[in-house]
Structure 1
Amino acid sequence: MKIKISVQPQDFDMGAEVDKIRNHSASVGGIVAFCGLCRSEGGRLSALEIEHYPGMAEKRIKQIVDDASTRWSLEGVTVIHRFGTIKVGEQIVLVVTASPHRREAFDAANFIMDFLKTEAPFWKKEHLRDGTPQNWVEAKATDEHTKVRWQKKSGQSKK
């Protein structure tokens, strides 16, 4: 399985990343790509400031990808997460999964994204349009609740 994990300040080319996985193996039957963007939160935000622990973030992402690969037959996974100041409309995160079958690619991408949101060491600070100082964003209970669904799905693993 081909794995690419990158935590970087610069933007990424989603199409190029999908092409790299598509061309990696003739066994690929389905590719799922998810790209998370910085949203305006109803016009309140101008940007997000994202920080991480270098080395620790990549290690935790690799553990999440390894866990996904024990559950589903995957030919390739790419995870790119940006840090720094990211303006509204810019890309933050990319998860690409490739598998012989579409369902596995979809499930693995959802699983990886759910665990990135709750377990990867990233912190976000909102920059408001009106310039009001803002605190770091608290974790959402809904993200933790969403992650729990994977604990109930043990019958769908490949092993």
Structure 2
Amino acid sequence: MSVIKEFREFAIKGNVIDLAVGVIIGGAFGKIVDSVVADLIMPVVGLVFGKLDFSNLYLVLGQVPAGTVDTLEGLRKAGVPVFAYGHFITVAVNFLILAFIIFMMVKQINRLKRETPVEAPPAPAPAPTAEDILLLREIRDSLKK
């Protein structure tokens, strides 16, 4: 079997197609969730807790040349090594909020998908066989005596 035939069989398997569809839908869903977090959740969080932006927290690791603007962007433009831990904190907090939102959405979707199990009707009694009928007649006749 040629490599092309093997690849074709692999590519048209249901698993590969399902995975491709999942990746595409996942990308679109990610944009929706990003928008929910950025446009709906973070403004409320910012209102309640103040602006949650740690991106300007950093430690200078080298010498700062004279005349350099003392901001993270200014230090980076000047080539000064900085330990920018604030951006990591902001991304981590955003991730936690995003993960919680996704968890709540999946939880609600699963709740909606659950259906109450329908009880199966009881199985009908099997039809009596000829032997069963003979035994019942024998019992009936023995009770008549």
Tell me which interval the TM-score lies in, with the shorter structure as reference length.
Answer: under 0.3
Larger Rg: 2
The TM-score, its normalising length taken from structure 1, stands at: 0.24
Structure number with higher strand proportion = 1
Larger RCO (alpha carbons 8 Å, 6+ apart): 1
The TM-score, its normalising length taken from structure 2, stands at: 0.26
Structure number with higher helix proportion = 2
